[in-house]
Amino acid sequence: MRGKTKVSICIPCYQQAMDVRRLLDSILQQDYTDFEVILTDDSGDDEVERVAADYRDRIVAKTGEETSFFYQRNPVRLGHVRNWNAALQKAEGEYIKIMFSDDWFTFPTSLSTFVRMLKEHPDAVLSFSGSRQSILAGEDSQNNLKHLNRKSEGKSWDRAADEAFLTALRKDFRILFQSDQIGA
pLDDT tens-digit map of 99-108: 998 888 988 9
End-to-end CA distance of the chain: 32
Distance of CA 95 to the CA centre of its chain: 12
Instruction: Identify the burial level of 162 via C-beta atoms within 10 angstroms of its C-beta, where 0-12 means exposed, 13-18 middle and 19 or more buried.
Output: exposed
pLDDT tens-digit map of 34-64: 999 999 999 999 999 999 999 999 999 999 9
What fold is seen in the domain 7-178? Spore Coat Polysaccharide Biosynthesis Protein SpsA; Chain A (3.90.550)
**pLDDT-flagged residues of the chain (< 70):** 1-3, 128-161, 176-184
Instruction: Parse the chain into domains and list their residue ranges.
Output: 7-178
